[in-house]
Amino acid sequence: MAPSSPVTLSVESQPPIAWLRLDRPQALNALDTELTAALEGAVERVAAMTDVTVLVIAGRGRAFCAGNDITEMATLSAEQAEALARRQAALMARFATLPQVTLAAIDGHALGGGLMLAVAQDLRIASDRARFGLPEVTLGFNPAYGIARLLDVVGGAHARDLLLTGRIVHASEALRLGLVNRVVAAPTLEATAAAWAADVARSPRGGLEATKAIVAELRRPGRGAEPEAYGAALRTSPEARARIQAFVDRKRGR
């Protein structure tokens, strides 16, 4: 008998609310190929839940999502890395077309692709110990699949600051920047997110879905996929791959 695949996420439906929890706490819920595939499947399952109005996305353990799994990235060929980046771009875009309102409940780190996962949601609530950043630039690449959404959420000046410095910001600054909508004490995060989701779900689902569709259409970029394609290729450049390997080696204490 083949060994079963490890569980990397869970979906719990409590109509009119569903919870999607990333479940790789030992890796700070980093996005590897397996978790990306699990998210793709979970999102389609939720899309078919006609009795669910709000989807809450959270992470188990000490992080919401620490971004792409750098350890795995060091093992991927250029073609595999670019293909994974394109899949993740499509995944992030899919949240905007879900019939449900999506709410990210962020505790701990939301870095790189994890920050872009949060930004891909309609609403964001964070604990007071949440941390946000886009450190990929220090490794020679960037999560291009979320830059347009980041610009939409926080504006050009703040987005450039995060993208070009790679600095980490605390929850209080994230609130000031508009990166999150609300910040609450960590022990109350889940209950507050559930209450907010329930409040949103009191409105007719059809009206919420139509509003999401209008916003998505108004915000739809009037360009092709060139920026995302360039970003996907950038992470496979020789310099980026060398820095990724050096990062992995430091983690392993070499």
pLDDT at 217: 83
**Alpha helix segments (H runs only) across the chain:** 33-47, 70-73, 78-97, 113-119, 147-154, 156-165, 171-177, 189-201, 205-218, 226-234, 238-251
* Residue entry with tokens 């700070």: 28
Cβ neighbours of 206 (radius 10 Å): 10
The per-residue pLDDT for 139 is 79
Domains of the chain, with CATH numbers?
A: 1-70+81-187+210-254 (3.90.226.10)
The single-letter code of the amino acid at 239 is E
User: What predicted TM-score, i.e. pTM, was given to this entire model?
Assistant: 0.86
CB contact set of 173 (below 8 Å; sequence gap of 6+): none
Which residue, chain included where needed, has tokens 């450049």? 237
Torsion angle in degrees (nearest 10) through CA of 179, 182, 188, 192: -120
pLDDT at res. 241: 65
> pLDDT tens, position by position, for the chain (254 residues)?
344 456 799 999 999 999 999 999 999 999 999 999 999 999 999 999 999 999 999 999 999 999 989 889 888 888 898 899 899 999 999 999 999 999 999 999 999 999 999 999 999 999 999 999 998 888 777 777 788 899 999 999 999 999 999 999 999 999 999 999 999 999 999 999 999 999 999 999 999 999 999 988 887 766 545 555 555 555 566 766 676 667 667 767 76
Q: Which of 12, 34, 79, 136 is catalytic?
A: 136
Predicted pLDDT at 103? 98
pLDDT of residue 39: 97
pLDDT at 4: 46
How far is Cα 115 from Cα 125, in angstroms, rounded to an integer?
13
User: What is d(CA 96, CA 202) in angstroms, rounded to the nearest whole number?
Assistant: 20
136 in catalytic set: yes
